[in-house]
Structure 1
């Protein structure tokens, strides 16, 4: 009996140890495992012998200190002491302008370049034959950003000898937008439930809140919008504001401010008024009083994000007013507190029969210059809705006197949810680097958003979060790369997709050359693969209705034409695609002449946007020399083939990474291969009804007839509520 008990105890301990060491992805890219190269580890340990932090450090500096202690202990395998005054060679010294001696070591030019949130990391001689490392910032939060940058430098095994890093964010407000509901469901959320445990707050606070804030700070984000843009007015009531204040307290030591979404009809729903008319004095008074109350509870509250008069949400147009009237109502109430009002430009109306992709320009361009200085118009990267590929939104070229923000989607609403692999940095770079020509060549969206074109502040970028209660945070383990990439691009949009992919892979999986090369290659090609097997050649909005998972080119007979697929592909016996030139809807006319010239001719329009801007016959001769039908079929097949190549590449890593993460990704790639075949077969069978042409050589025959795919009705799809 005693032997049996001992066996049970030992076996339980072994299982517990295995669980504790399982690679479940929770640590994200903040994996401070010991550096395997003993020589390098020793060199780092000799270069950083103590951490010098001022006495009575504010909370955000304390966070920087604690992160350095934790990170260095893990990376170097030893504790690095924290002191208040440098006492040995190899000191890492943290300082702000409060330390005039330290600040004298850097130039005024460097101080100005660091800005309000940036940092300088520099290795210098200490005057006694030794060296020390300076981490200097103008504000305490810069020390936090610098601490994460130094740890990242060490994780990437870069040299310290000539360390000289000066970095500052190019965009001021770098926000993660959560489409989280108060019942903890998440609209377009594919990684479990909402992180915010509203029922338990404010008294009970999950330790995960701190880890979430650490993750945001580690990539340079500085704000989080807690609630869905399809807003619930209850979040503005006092009980919920107390809960929000508890979250704000958890995030504040990490330099993260909280924002909320405001429901435009809140004065009626929770305020007892009979109207929400933005020009009604009683409505203005209600909002002023409510916002004063918010700042009493949350003194550093960031502001509001508003979705109005879009997809059934209430707004100023309900009262015959404009978007500017509605935005200015809230901006005026926020202004005394230096609060920000973000007004989304994602609008389209059932009453407007014009091409849906034109409606943002139609509604907002005439209002240019009418918005308050603390109001920012937030524009999606494309004119439709976060699709795998769209041209950039033309609205960026139409509002020179208005502050504009870029909204990106990190969660994969139209890119396979948390099943399919889609590294989105290349998609975002397409938008950021797009030239609007609004102020001559070089007027890119990045330069508009970061204020360098118009010198307008505040500057804002936002990403719709892909986080949830799944242990690995993002559902698909490799989708963590998108959270990371958004933060890095929000801080510095000049980084390349390749740089970020390499960084994230090394931070998350280590420095094995084959692992880094293979995963980076998988990431960089993954988005284009989804484009190929789902919506190639400029096709768009042909997914299944409602949940948006899988194909649905046949979707029709919805309450609104612009909620159908047939509205967007218009396939029939004569051809396929939407004519958005001057001969058709003239959506192309909203772009600069340079783009009109390039995109307006099918011969010069890139294949990637061909069917977005042109309606063409099935036998149209493509740049490849093939007819359009054959090209379309081969693109779908190419997507399937690329997923299979991804599977083989991932399988080559067996034994080079841990079994838990290997199996997790392997299973999802297997599902993605099935999904790719379903997309290919369903779409080609559907379009073949109109083309009446055979599948070209090299395209696999469909596994089932068209009715099989049309009959698929998925239930309880995550993220669709």
Structure 2
């Protein structure tokens, strides 16, 4: 009997009998049988959530929730809080119920990480008032650029049937400080503003409200024509403005704390004010006037580009910078972090810093449209931190993240993709947090706190984004993905009748002389949109940071890099390094097996193997294709291609932009 008991303990310690998990609990996996003593003199839906979370989970003595009106707590704003130890009691303080909710989740996070909670003196407030997830969910249940199943929102069942996952979603967001959500795709259907759908939206808003989450909607600019049967959507037309005011009144009568509208206008075929020779400011201001009496805002996207001879990377700046100061104060212009479209690495959009009199918000992409979908591990906190090294966090007013959440059991398709949802929330709350700190938090809460597990897996996460850049598009290469779904490499892609800026050759410009897009003063002069002295640094091929070299310069194949190697050899070695890194992730995960339940370990292991194989596919496809132009041999320290270029050029994945490919669809080494 003793031998059996010892054997059981050893098996549990080694992970052999760890309880199977499917990832559905995300990072909220603490035991909920604590029955803690929680003191609070007030009751409300928000406070009831905070009390319930603490009572079920907190294990270190009594907790008191207190509202304060003193200077310290008032200075922390509506969502800030303090956590203090007083004798054997932990006191959570805030000036509002929302602050106490966030304090409760902070305290429980410390417990989950095995932090010392005996003497706490914490004071926090969020960097931004609006910390919002943008869902690109369609009313038919599909998700554009969503790789984790169908939409969480079962529109056909609402409002009568409410899924328990709606509250679980709200709880997960509140635990990391996300306080807002846009429910539907920026390519919006006007139907979302119909009375029938607003009743469905109300049902979701009612569930989210106790978690301090406001609901927003993406709206179609032509909604007055589709729903209101007006002959125009001209923002200067009195009837159009009245239609929006009436619709906004209807929304707020159902959802008093409705947040406002997100608008994609005059971009990729969407209707907008420019259809009527009006400006983006005139369109946004018309909607903002309708929302202003209720405290609502308009988030107006700056992702615009049209067929022209102008460099696509310049177009958002050219269209929006002249409008600086012309937007109403409840309009925020939402700008993608880079000037193209969520590439694995982009310089920051030059609109940041160029609109001193207009509130701006940054739009990050949490879903991995250009980063291997939900098959590849790509921890994105380092990418977002890179943005903040160029753009001071204090210069923007809000943060948005394009959601990677679907109805898959584990929410995100890849268990490690949950880390990007988590990291977005934590950085939106505090952009000064390090990527390492966030990774440690997520790993500890999601898998366990054993340092033998945390250290190597954290290191793997920290290297993952750079690995993806290396095996996909190093040194500033960008947008050389396959047509439509953006999963695999297709630098050779040609589509009859397609716009040039939809094709990879527009961006890589490979020829016998060199490779890269010339955005210096001798080319498109996009460098001039950046402030000095950065503009001058980027403009010179000798001073441009090498990670952006081919973004801003058409560099000769024999251009000497800082390493002393030619550009061609350096390019080859980056691809080689990416392949080796991706392969090393498989070994790191193998070593982590004793610390992980079998179900999640197997799920991650399968995807890491896909990633390792895909890295070889990317390396061979890109280098063999570009070698046709460079006519230079591979360096001796770079492994020979596994695939033949002719074979790779025939690969056509049978997937849409709503899907993630399965292993049998992909080229195998």
Give TM class, smaller chain: over 0.9
Supply the distance in 1 between the matched residues of 2:617 and 2:37 (Cα, whole angstroms).
58
| 2:192 corresponding residue in structure 1 | 235
SS of the residue corresponding to residue 478 of structure 1 reads helix
- 8 Å CA contact 1:426–1:497 kept in 2: the answer is yes
User: Which segments of structure 1 move beyond 6 Å, counting only runs of 4 or more?
Assistant: none
| 1:217 corresponding residue in structure 2 | 174
- 8 Å CA contact 1:429–1:497 kept in 2: the answer is yes
| 2:202 corresponding residue in structure 1 | 245
Residues 602 and 312 of structure 1, relative CA distance in 2, 3 Å threshold: same
Question: Over residues 526-545 of structure 1, what are the superposed CA-to-partner deviations in whole Å (9 max), with x where a residue is unaligned?
Answer: 00000000000100000101
Supply the distance in 1 between the matched residues of 2:597 and 2:19 (Cα, whole angstroms).
10
| 1:372 corresponding residue in structure 2 | 328
The equivalences for 1:535-574 within 5 A come to 535-557=473-495, 558-574=497-513
* Partner residue of 2:29 out of 28, 31, 37: 31
- 8 Å CA contact 2:18–2:597 kept in 1: the answer is no
SS of the residue corresponding to residue 391 of structure 1 reads coil
Question: Over residues 640-699 of structure 1, what are the superposed CA-to-partner deviations in whole Å (9 max), with x where a residue is unaligned?
Answer: 011111111111112221111111111111000110000000001110111111111122
SS of the residue corresponding to residue 194 of structure 1 reads coil
1:93 matched to 2:40? The reply is: no
Supply the distance in 2 between the matched residues of 1:556 and 1:595 (Cα, whole angstroms).
35
How big is the shift at 1:704? Answer: 2.6
Supply the distance in 1 between the matched residues of 2:601 and 2:657 (Cα, whole angstroms).
23
* Partner residue of 2:121 out of 164, 167, 170: 164
Supply the distance in 1 between the matched residues of 2:416 and 2:63 (Cα, whole angstroms).
34
Supply the distance in 1 between the matched residues of 2:510 and 2:542 (Cα, whole angstroms).
20
How big is the shift at 1:113? Answer: 3.4
1:447 matched to 2:394? The reply is: yes
Q: Which runs of 5+ in 1 are unaligned?
A: 1-17, 36-44, 77-89, 98-102, 126-130, 436-443, 450-458
Supply the distance in 2 between the matched residues of 1:705 and 1:132 (Cα, whole angstroms).
67
How big is the shift at 1:717? Answer: 4.0
- 8 Å CA contact 2:475–2:571 kept in 1: the answer is yes
Supply the distance in 2 between the matched residues of 1:656 and 1:427 (Cα, whole angstroms).
28
- 8 Å CA contact 1:637–1:699 kept in 2: the answer is yes
- 8 Å CA contact 1:529–1:639 kept in 2: the answer is yes
SS of the residue corresponding to residue 136 of structure 1 reads strand
| 1:683 corresponding residue in structure 2 | 622
| 1:184 corresponding residue in structure 2 | 141
How big is the shift at 1:110? Answer: 2.3
Supply the distance in 1 between the matched residues of 2:485 and 2:412 (Cα, whole angstroms).
18
How big is the shift at 1:133? Answer: 1.4
How big is the shift at 1:597? Answer: 2.2
Supply the distance in 1 between the matched residues of 2:482 and 2:367 (Cα, whole angstroms).
17
- 8 Å CA contact 1:620–1:627 kept in 2: the answer is yes
| 1:706 corresponding residue in structure 2 | 645
The equivalences for 1:645-660 within 5 A come to 645-660=584-599
How big is the shift at 1:118? Answer: 1.1
| 2:561 corresponding residue in structure 1 | 622
- 8 Å CA contact 2:36–2:54 kept in 1: the answer is no
Q: CA RMSD in A?
A: 1.7
* Partner residue of 1:257 out of 214, 228, 234: 214
SS of the residue corresponding to residue 321 of structure 1 reads coil
1:277 matched to 2:248? The reply is: no
Question: Over residues 410-430 of structure 1, what are the superposed CA-to-partner deviations in whole Å (9 max), with x where a residue is unaligned?
Answer: 000000000000000000011
Residues 34 and 263 of structure 1, relative CA distance in 2, 3 Å threshold: closer
Supply the distance in 2 between the matched residues of 1:282 and 1:49 (Cα, whole angstroms).
58
How big is the shift at 1:109? Answer: 4.2
| 1:15 corresponding residue in structure 2 | none
The equivalences for 1:6-45 within 5 A come to 21-33=19-31
The equivalences for 1:99-138 within 5 A come to 108-125=70-87, 131-138=88-95
Q: Which has the higher contact order (CA 8 A, sep 6+)?
A: 2
1:495 matched to 2:437? The reply is: no
* TM-score, length-scaled by structure 1: 0.87
Supply the distance in 2 between the matched residues of 1:91 and 1:702 (Cα, whole angstroms).
63
How big is the shift at 1:247? Answer: 0.4
* Partner residue of 1:363 out of 299, 319, 334: 319
1:515 matched to 2:453? The reply is: yes
- 8 Å CA contact 2:515–2:550 kept in 1: the answer is yes
1:288 matched to 2:245? The reply is: yes
| 1:464 corresponding residue in structure 2 | 402
SS of the residue corresponding to residue 584 of structure 2 reads helix
| 2:13 corresponding residue in structure 1 | none
* TM-score, length-scaled by structure 2: 0.94
Q: Which runs of 5+ in 2 are unaligned?
A: 1-15, 661-669
| 1:83 corresponding residue in structure 2 | none
How big is the shift at 1:161? Answer: 2.1
1:383 matched to 2:339? The reply is: yes
